[in-house]
Amino acid sequence: MIIKMKQIKKIFKFTGLALIIAASLTACDQGSSQQASVEKVPSVSGQVTLTSADAQKFLYDVAKEMVAMNLEGSRAAWIYANFITEDTAILAANADQKSTDAGVRYAMQAATFDQVDVNAVQRRQLNFLKQRLVMPAPQDPSKSAELATIGAKLGSIYSKGSYTTKAGEKLSLGDMTAIMANSRDYDELLEMWSGWREISPEMKPLYIRQAELANEGAKGLGYPDLGAMWRSNYDMPADDFAKELDRLWGQVKPLYDDLHCYVRTELGETYGTDKVPQDQPIPAHLLGNMWAQSWGNIYDLVAPEDADPGYDVTKQLAIHNYDEIDMVRGAEKFFTSLGFDALPETFYSRSLFTKPADRDVTCHASAWDLDAKDDIRIKMCIQKTGEEFNVIHHELGHNYYQRAYKDQPVFFQNSANDGFHEAIGDTIALSVTPKYLKEIGLIDTIPDESKDIGLLMKQALDKIAFIPFGLMVDQWRWKVYSGEITPENYNSSWWELREKYQGVAAPIDRDVNAFDPGAKYHVPGGVPYSRYFLAHIQQFEFHRALCEISGNTDPIHRCSIYNSKEAGAALNTMLEMGSSQPWQQAYKVITGSEQMDASAILDYFAPLHIWLKNKNQGKQCGF
């Protein structure tokens, strides 16, 4: 039995245990037989009324039940991820069903307090219980069951998806993404791109019905539609949140436009301007990624001349005899240098660091918090590479966040908003600079600033290229849920938004019945996507602010907060808040402002942006 990706995703939303990962998520909550109750008080008229005291008792009962569920479910999930068998899959699936049922029950009961006069903390906790449901089920049991069945079917279609090539070779998504990353054959790339999208047309009628049912569930909780419910999870009016994302994108767009122009030119030289017209969007299959969401895999095609920084972290790890545990302990020292406590010994005895030879495991890196106390772990099959060294720093960022908010009530044991957790992990990774590598003895000299362009280009191809994609996925879904985009226009509207925001186009005409959104995991999986956009904005602002707190005098892209107790203290203050306060208050702790500001991205990539503008002189940019 294979556990469905949608099921796993729901559980992560419920517990906040680990990363939301694009293709594979693995953690669960185990339900209990306890029932949270709502005491009802008869009014003088005989009608039932609820009071603040009723809300407090309800929240107390729910918290007690959730603590037990989270611990049991976390253990079930950990066992499944590390010992993949039919039995452990069944245990994980059972835990999923129980946690999902509990989540629906909590949300419906929390909604009964919508008109009750409660204090601010109670209201925040009640809203948490309502808003954590990603796909709220209608109160009709038959429709609720139908929604669950649709979710399982969509997950199954995606997870079982494959493509048989013209040569008769059957390929998995993993096989195809590897080809997309490494091939430079135009026709082979086109076959992979179009082949993967053959899996999704059958999703369309299921997706239509899922949207109808989830909208009904959202309305039952007091929201106009599911998109409005998702947007209401950010401590501001739903419409204001949408405007805020557009404002932030407007700040980044000039940098993206220049990166796009340069990359399109280089691709035109590789494939010919007949295949990559210089006044049109870039064909989506040429950017090294199945979804054209990040472009780092084509660095070799667009790398600046003389961009080699003069060192290779992978080779340096080997020279200094780092094994997998040394890499983890090295990353831990980053955090202790900031003033954080060392990791508990159980972290090292219970985590998974290398791929076992005797069993199947889920290798995709993730951070875990099993008991909301000190049982924190990572799970990854570490490769001794520079990239993995960065990833370990990122994962420990999650673990230290989890540990920092452990004393918060269970409702608030999560990041300030759903972008913060990823942003914190990436903020830490931004400090893995040449300066840091020299301080810990991995390299001997820091390359001069002439080498920065290559390093910045590598980052921009992943981080800047992603930002418009991170924005448009939910732009499309919000319009679907509101009814602005109707089923007959699902696919055409998807590509209109991709051209508008990314300057990326389908490489071939799409059939009227195509459902290309379904070829991206998060759409059939029902995973909100704005969190990834937010994380890409927030990490640079956090990095800039922490560098200022640390007294850094280097350019922001060269800064590392390693060894700064001042930066560590500010970071810890924010992390300890969990989600107990509106995210704006947590933001202010580090940045001094309650409003996000994407200018930090422009500051970070300023040398690259100047270089791109020079390269683009005389070219026809825009799409």
The one catalytic residue among 216, 395, 499, 541: 395
Spot the catalytic one: 256, 532, 562, 604: 532
Quick one: CA torsion of 73, 79, 81, 83, rounded to 10 degrees?
A: -160
pLDDT of 7 > 50? The answer is no
Catalytic site includes residue 522: yes
Which among 13-27, 37-51, 278-292 has the top mean pLDDT?
278-292
- Worst-scoring range by mean pLDDT, 93-102, 389-398, 540-549? 93-102
* Res 1: pLDDT: 33
Q: What is the pLDDT of residue 139?
A: 83
**Residue given tokens 């191809």 in the structure block:** 461
Active site includes 364? yes
pLDDT at 18: 30
Quick one: pLDDT at residue 47? 57
pLDDT of residue 103: 87
- Rounded average pLDDT over 580-601: 96
Annotated active-site residue in 191, 422, 499, 541: 422
pLDDT at 43: 40
Residue 398 a catalytic site member: yes
- Select which of 522, 536, 557, 609 is catalytic: 522
Is 198 assigned a catalytic role?
A: no
Annotated catalytic residue 285: no
Look-up: residue for tokens 């810990």?
440
- Checking if the pLDDT of 506 tops 80, the result is yes
Sequence-distant (≥ 6) Cβ neighbours of residue 457 within 8 angstroms: 299, 302, 303, 304, 307, 608
Band of pLDDT at residue 559, cut at 50, 70 and 90? very high
pLDDT by residue (tens digit) across 370-397? Answer: 999 899 999 999 999 999 999 999 999 9
Instruction: Compute the average pLDDT of residues 438-463.
Output: 94
Quick one: pLDDT at residue 25? 32
Kindly name the residue from 260, 285, 394, 421 that is annotated as catalytic. 394
Q: With 90 as the cut, is the pLDDT of residue 342 above it?
A: yes
> Which has the minimum average pLDDT: 143-152, 340-349, 576-585?
143-152
SS3 label, residue 11:
helix
Q: What is the DSSP letter of 578?
A: T
Q: Which of 6-15, 134-143, 334-343 has the highest mean pLDDT?
A: 334-343
Is 106 considered catalytic here?
A: no
Q: Does 22 score more than 80 pLDDT?
A: no
User: Would you call 491 helix, strand, or coil by DSSP?
Assistant: helix
What lies within 8 Å, CB to CB, of 169 at 6+ separation is none
Contact assessment for residue 121 and residue 572, using Cβ atoms and an 8 Å cutoff: no
Name the pLDDT band for 94 (thresholds 50, 70, 90): confident
Average pLDDT of the chain to the nearest whole number? 90
**Cβ-Cβ contacts under 8 Å for 226 (sequence gap 6 or more):** 135, 136, 211, 214, 215, 217, 218, 481
* Statement: residue 363 has pLDDT above 60: yes
Kindly state the average pLDDT of the residues 347-369.
91
pLDDT over 80 at 3, yes or no: no
Q: Per the residue annotation, which of 260, 285, 393, 398 is the catalytic one?
A: 398
Q: Which tokens sit at 442?
A: 């991995």
Task: Report the pLDDT value the prediction gives residue 192, as an integer from 0 to 100.
Answer: 97
- Token pair 């038959």 is found at 142
Tell me the two tokens of residue 257: 């436009």
Mean pLDDT of 120-126: 95
What are 485's two structure tokens? 């985009």
**Predicted confidence band at 310 (pLDDT cuts at 50, 70, 90)?**
confident
> Does pLDDT of 309 surpass 50?
yes
Distance set, CA 405 to CA 155, 226, 322, 427 (Å):
32, 29, 32, 18
The Cα–Cα gap between 120 and 134 comes to: 23
In this structure, the number of other CB atoms found within 10 A of the CB of residue 307 comes to 16
Question: Would you call 394 a catalytic residue per the annotation?
Answer: yes
| C-alpha count within 13 angstroms, C-beta hemisphere, residue 173 | 19
Which of 364, 496, 505, 576 is labelled catalytic?
Answer: 364
Q: Which one of 211, 365, 567, 570 is the catalytic residue?
A: 365
So what's the pLDDT on residue 541?
97
The phi and psi torsions of 377 (rounded to 5 degrees) equal -150, 165
What local confidence, expressed as pLDDT, does residue 426 receive?
93
- What average pLDDT score do residues 340-360 get? 94
Confidence at residue 4, expressed as pLDDT on a 0 to 100 scale: 34
What's the pLDDT tens digit per position in 206-264?
Answer: 999 999 999 999 998 889 999 999 999 999 999 999 999 999 999 999 999 999 999 99
> DSSP string of 299-326?
HHHHPPTT---S--HHHHHHHTT--HHH
Q: Which pLDDT value is given to residue 450?
A: 86
Give me the percent of the chain exceeding a pLDDT of 90: 77
Report residue 6's pLDDT band, with 50, 70 and 90 as the boundaries.
Answer: very low
| Amino acid residing at 342 | A
User: Which is more confidently placed, 224 or 23?
Assistant: 224
Band of residue 274 on the pLDDT scale cut at 50, 70, 90: very high
